[in-house]
């Protein structure tokens, strides 16, 4: 069953009179509960695609259906609700508030979701424990390692219990051992918690070891769409 369906999606950036197609008539669907990796060299349109699906940017043309609803036509408020409830986003640069500790970073993501203050704290502590940070709850990002900081970001992405996790090069700033631990955590979220994962990575070989499916982009177009047998 499709949870996301992209149809003839286009995103064009303009520099003066020059048009740069970052995403060029992409069409594909994502099965609920699957782990999809999107690979490609720098400038292939990977991050732009993820930002469009996450509602951080709007397309020039085409459609993005989430459970059959076209988010490409939503208002700013509608896109904010999509980001708040439907998707959790994880970034290479973590995007945490460095003046706040881990607990505060996770609870802040729930402030506008109608969850009581006490429940926000209880849920944040549970999520931080789940990602292995039970002893680092009151530490600020600059008191944490890169891997721990990314774990806080993952807990924050899970705070409103979204169906879909969008991870943009989540291991890009980490050493190889820590990167492997973060990937293992994402696989756990997919397998045990049934989260649909869309992950951007430059490493196609690594992606094929953990993903149900790998899409390779080049110049904003799909060059390869590969189902990984033995994973599905």
Pairing of strands 213-218, 221-227: antiparallel
Q: Cα 76 vs. chain centroid, distance in angstroms?
A: 20
The model's pTM is: 0.95
Q: Cα 205 vs. chain centroid, distance in angstroms?
A: 20
Contact between residue 150 and residue 118 where contact means Cβ atoms under 8 Å apart: no
Instruction: Give the pLDDT of residue 203.
Output: 87
| DSSP per-residue string spanning 184-216 | HHHHHHHHHH--EEEEEES-HHHHHHH-SEEEE
**Cβ neighbourhood burial of 131 (10 Å; 0-12, 13-18, 19+):** buried
CA torsion sign for 62, 5, 213, 196 is positive
Domains and CATH numbers, the chain: 34-47+76-227 (3.40.50.300)
pLDDT by 10s per residue, the chain, length 232: 899 999 999 999 998 889 999 999 999 999 999 999 999 999 999 999 999 999 999 999 999 999 999 999 899 999 999 999 999 999 999 999 999 999 999 999 999 898 999 999 999 999 999 999 999 999 999 999 999 999 999 999 999 999 999 999 999 999 999 999 999 999 999 999 999 999 999 888 889 999 999 999 999 999 999 999 765 5
């Amino acid at each position: 069953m499709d949870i996301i369906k992209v149809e003839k999606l286009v995103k064009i950036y303009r520099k003066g009179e020059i048009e740069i197609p970052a995403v060029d008539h992409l069409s594909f669907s994502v099965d609920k509960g699957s782990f999809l990796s999107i690979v490609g060299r720098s400038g292939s349109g990977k991050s732009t695609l993820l930002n469009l699906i996450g509602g951080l940017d709007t397309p020039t043309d085409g459609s993005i259906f989430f459970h059959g609803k076209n988010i490409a036509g939503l208002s700013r408020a509608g896109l904010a609700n999509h980001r708040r409830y439907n998707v959790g986003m994880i970034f290479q640069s973590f995007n945490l508030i460095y003046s706040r500790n881990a607990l505060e970073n996770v609870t802040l993501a729930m402030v506008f979701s109608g969850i009581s203050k006490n429940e926000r704290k209880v849920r944040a502590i549970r999520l931080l424990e789940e990602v292995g940070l039970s002893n680092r709850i009151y530490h600020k990002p600059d008191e944490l390692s890169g891997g721990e900081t990314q774990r806080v970001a993952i807990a924050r992405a899970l705070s409103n219990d979204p169906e879909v996790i969008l991870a943009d090069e989540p291991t890009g700033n980490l050493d190889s051992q820590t990167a492997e631990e973060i990937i293992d955590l994402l696989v756990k979220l997919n397998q045990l918690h049934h989260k649909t994962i869309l992950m951007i990575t430059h490493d196609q070989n690594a992606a094929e070891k953990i993903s149900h499916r790998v899409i390779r982009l080049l110049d904003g177009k799909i060059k390869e769409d590969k189902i990984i047998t033995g994973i599905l």
